[in-house]
Amino acid sequence: MKDPESIPQLGELVRILNGRDKGQFACVIEVLDNRFVRIADGDKRKVDRAKKKNVLHIERMDIVAPEVKNSIIETGRVTNAKLRFAISTYIDDNLLKEGE
């Protein structure tokens, strides 16, 4: 895991540790400051209703979804479909292989 003092990057996949969505995966779509980020998953938490989250309440997965990061940098926004794709790809590629 990365240094806990460093802030998450745009497009980084995270697992939510506290709150109603505990245990679910999301993607960082905006870094507000060194303490807060905005996250969305494209399904239950859509981009237009992104959740402001304390970085202490998320677990960083050390994986940056390039399609999400590039979309945000180029256009200033990302679609819910891209978020769903990035999260499902990560879960399929990494978590299912770990369970084998």
Is the pLDDT confidence value at 97 over 70? no
Name which residue leads in pLDDT, 60 or 98: 60
Report residue 38 CA to chain centroid gap.
9
Query: Containing domain of residue 39, as a range?
Result: 12-99
What was the pLDDT predicted at 94?
Answer: 74
CATH code of the domain in which 74 resides: 2.30.30.140
Domain contains 53: yes
Do the domain assignments include residue 4?
A: no
With respect to residue 5, please indicate whether it lies within any of the assigned structural domains.
no
Q: How much is the pLDDT for 6?
A: 81
- Rounded-to-integer distance, Cα 37 and Cα 77, Å: 15
Q: Tens of pLDDT along 43-95?
A: 999 999 999 999 999 999 989 999 999 999 999 999 999 999 999 998 887 76
pLDDT at 1 over 50: no
Residue 62 falls inside a structural domain: yes
For the whole model, what pTM was predicted? 0.86
Please indicate, yes or no, if residue 80 is contained in any of the structural domains: yes
Count: domains in the chain: 1
Q: Determine the Cα–Cα distance for residues 95 and 81; give it in Å rounded to an integer.
A: 20
Q: What is the pLDDT of residue 96?
A: 61
